[in-house]
Structure 1
Amino acid sequence: MEEDSVSIWPRMEPFLLGALQVAPSSKLGLHYLRKMATYVRTREGSFPMLGWPMWRHIACGKLQLPDDLAWLYFETFDLLQGHTAEERLEWAECLSQCSSKTELDQQRSKMSVDTLQFLLFLYIQQLNRVSLRTSLIGEEWPSHRARSPSPSDRESKTSSQNKNWDDQAHLSFVLNHLAEILELLVEPGHLPKSGQSLRDCQVSVTIIPSVYKFCPEKKTYVGHTNRENCVLAYSYIIVSQQIMSVSLDKCRDSLVILGPVETSVHIHSCQNVRIVCVARRIIIGASSRCTIHSLTPTRPLLLPGNSDIVLGPFHTFYPSLEDHMASVGLAVVPNLWDQPLLLGTEDFACFRLLLPAEFNSLVIPFQMEGDTCEVPGGLPAPYQATLEEKQKKIQSWQKTVMEARLNKDQKQQFEELVTLKFHEWLLKSGNRKEIDSLIPPQLTSVPAKCIN
């Protein structure tokens, strides 16, 4: 390696989990971030650590960003930090004790982040910036920017649509914008003067490794499920363990039950999928006819392109669930499953909350060791009341049948009638396909060829 060479290895986590999959505000462009970099260095208590009050002042007062969006960026960046599970649980406990917006703001004011890291985090939101020129005429040719070869036009198109999951797109982004990234890191007095290139300035390169370390180095499991080429009628995916992050892309006709997800669940281009999860963040984009039952301390993020999204409370458990939740720092409160935040869209008709009358419990059909014997945190009162009412009807029906004192023939006729009505309900409700998918496929036997 040459003496003056530099090796750059962009980490996937900031792009995969931190870059919001929507075109960023123009106020997060280089021009405004340069001003912010200079501003925070001249304000006491803003450098090298930036607190929530100062960021809100900059975002809402200077950049004119909505308060919800300002907190979303701040909270998302904190999600990428290497907090221990104990620290996460302690923070959740503090938030759960806030009974007013004033108390919540006071608690948030205790949070601070690394200023330079946060500047870079805001800058990489440009990953999903839409270029009008490129969208109209395609990539400039010949292109002087670094590009990674793609095996086919189809794969290239897919990568451009899912840049958060494309590590080559991450590398290209850093290479194409390295000079601008460095500008945000240097001291104001070292910025290039008119006509002077950035490489002539004195830049402290030793800061780069620490700035790019958004996530702690540890062994993690990242799930990415794509059922685009599957031919199954209906799929059941159950993961009863802790997961760092999950991406569901182009899934259809599936039930997905996840163990506690330490960071985020990304749901993209899915149709007729039911997701049941405990996760720190849930992001839904370009999906339709999906139902999400969740327990989450952050507001579910709804991106453009959604339709017929139903949000419901988390409604299942398995014996080791609470132990798994504690191991990744997820508590039962606060739980904001019913307070979605729309980003990049104002289509409030794209979602609705699950009606209590539509609610049913969900049982995970596995036996394992553990102490969890009910839904963590319980169910919201209207949904719990629905289950209790259904249980009363079942008990009343069972009592009526017992008191009828049917003879053997009458019992058989009654069972046949109940079975018939049950199958009619399965067809009418659309649940027949779920029952059918539980039947294992029959193996086709190949007759042996006779040998004389």
Structure 2
Amino acid sequence: MPSQADEEAHQLSYLQKHMANILSLLADSTEGGDDDSLVLSVDKFEHLGFLIYFGEKGSAKISLSQNAPFFANSDPDMPAAPVPASQILDWLLQNISSTLEHIADRVSLKESGPSSSPDPDVQMADVGTGSLKPSVSHRGPSFIEGISKSSYVKQASDLKGTSVKVVNCHESVIYILAPLRYATIYGCSDATIVIGAVGKAIRVEHCERVHLITAARRICIANCRECVFFLGVNQQPLIVGDNHKLQVAPFNTYYSQLEEHMSQVGVDPNINRWDEPVALGLLDPHDSLSHPAGVSDVQAESASRVDPDQFTNFVIPNWLEIENAGPTKDNPFPLPDAYLASQQKNIKSLAEVKQILRETQLEENRKRELSSALHACFKDWLYASGNIRQLYCLQGE
């Protein structure tokens, strides 16, 4: 896996290469009709906020237009005049180049300096329009790699930094019950992954049949198949690349320290935009697996909502929380009405079944037959739903 600096540089280089095309898609044409006649309004310019933003670390997010010299301080009652796309392109490329230089300097300093030297963590999102003020992160990301057919738990005290990368894990349940700045899920399959609270962003890439449960400021999903995302997110989920059969649902779990962790990293439980995914980009017309030959300009596939009748809570075993218990006793994100009604219906149905079983008079041999039938049906459901992997934590070493 590439380092955090490598990933940042790669993402910025990609933006640098394609920014002209991105702006041309957003721009409006004036009378001339050539490239010099392309202009961007302030509203179109704000769409770039899906990809970049400017500001100091830890500060409140300011709209992209207020950081641009050509739109800043404009009167809301009198919208700013459109700006030539070429002028905006020059300004963006200048800032991207400056950030790439700082990343290169950081890597060079780290490689040539003593091993104890800090690793400044500069993001494009943290570059101001004036001087750069990188913050310091003393440790790199924690890696969780190659977990297979088991349960794996990490608390805040187990992590060496504030970012985590879960790589190539399969048929497992992974609990990361900690406050984080960044998280990456890469190359995993047939797994359930719980990520506590992520204050900056979580990225999920090249995963198949993964159930991800996370509370985060933002999430980016790329090149995934048949995954389900149970989200408490403050910004719209971003879906890019070649994705198939993705589903989104509201956040569905809790652990005792969750609200404390969310508060530490700035995740707001009162804002959940789980059901507003944005799919960006077009599929490669030369990829025969994505769509049939002869079809071009196919919009990237978005995600569908999980049917409320299929929505269930995910229970984190309380014995996994080996650290001090916190105050959280329930899901901090309010459920939408349809999902809340479905949840209450399931609770009522379960209570009715329990009552019927208690009141039914059966002979001992019939009780044993009923018990065996219930266990068999439950076991079939565990395997069919994939929930069997939640029982790995009960296995002995």
When the two structures are superposed, what TM-score results if normalisation uses the length of structure 2? 0.63
1:291 shift after superposition: 1.0
State the one-letter code of the partner of 1:434. Answer: R
Per the alignment, residue 374 of structure 1 pairs with: 330
Distance 1:23 1:119, change over 3 A: closer
Query: Taking CA–CA contacts closer than 8 Å with sequence separation of 6 or more, which of the two structures ends up with the larger relative contact order?
Result: 1
SS in 1 for 2:352: helix
Per the alignment, residue 315 of structure 2 pairs with: 363
Q: For 1:22 and 1:296, locate their aligned partners in 2 and report how far apart those are by CA, in whole Å.
A: 28
1:408 shift after superposition: 2.7
Superposition CA RMSD, Å: 4.2
Of the three residues 14, 17, 20, the one matched with 1:26 is: 20
- Contact residue 16 and residue 93 of structure 2 kept, 8 A: no
Q: For 1:385 and 1:20, locate their aligned partners in 2 and report how far apart those are by CA, in whole Å.
A: 45
Q: For 1:296 and 1:250, locate their aligned partners in 2 and report how far apart those are by CA, in whole Å.
A: 22
When the two structures are superposed, what TM-score results if normalisation uses the length of structure 1? 0.56
Of the three residues 424, 436, 443, the one matched with 2:380 is: 424
State the one-letter code of the partner of 1:399. Answer: Q
State the one-letter code of the partner of 2:308. Answer: P
Q: Which has the higher helix share?
A: 1
1:71 shift after superposition: 3.2
Per the alignment, residue 123 of structure 1 pairs with: 96
1:70 shift after superposition: 2.8
Q: For 1:435 and 1:295, locate their aligned partners in 2 and report how far apart those are by CA, in whole Å.
A: 21
State the one-letter code of the partner of 2:92. Answer: L
1:123 shift after superposition: 3.3
Of the three residues 222, 247, 258, the one matched with 2:163 is: 222
1:327 shift after superposition: 1.1
- Contact residue 244 and residue 263 of structure 1 kept, 8 A: yes
Per the alignment, residue 325 of structure 1 pairs with: 262
1:144-163 correspondence to structure 2 within 5 Å:
none
State the one-letter code of the partner of 2:53. Answer: F
Q: Which stretch of structure 1 is more off in the superposition, 347-356 or 332-341?
A: 347-356
Distance 1:378 1:432, change over 3 A: closer
Q: Percent identity?
A: 21
Q: For 1:169 and 1:253, locate their aligned partners in 2 and report how far apart those are by CA, in whole Å.
A: 40
Q: For 2:132 and 2:22, locate their aligned partners in 1 and report how far apart those are by CA, in whole Å.
A: 19
Distance 1:340 1:404, change over 3 A: same
Q: Which has the higher strand share?
A: 2
Q: What is the aligned length?
A: 299
Distance 1:123 1:218, change over 3 A: closer
Per the alignment, residue 270 of structure 1 pairs with: 207
Structure 2: runs of 5 or more not aligned: 24-37, 63-74, 80-87, 109-126, 139-160, 283-297
1:391 aligns with 2:391: no
Per the alignment, residue 58 of structure 2 pairs with: 83
Structure 1: runs of 5 or more not aligned: 1-9, 30-59, 92-104, 110-114, 128-166, 173-206, 443-452
1:225 shift after superposition: 2.0
Distance 1:16 1:283, change over 3 A: farther
1:296-375 correspondence to structure 2 within 5 Å:
296-345=233-282, 347=299, 349-365=301-317, 366-367=320-321, 368-375=324-331
- Contact residue 276 and residue 293 of structure 1 kept, 8 A: yes
Greater C-alpha radius of gyration: 1
1:150-177 alpha-carbon deviations (Å, 9 max, x no partner)? xxxxxxxxxxxxxxxxx889979xxxxx
Per the alignment, residue 199 of structure 1 pairs with: none
- Contact residue 265 and residue 283 of structure 1 kept, 8 A: yes
1:127-146 correspondence to structure 2 within 5 Å:
none
1:440 aligns with 2:376: no
1:222 shift after superposition: 1.8
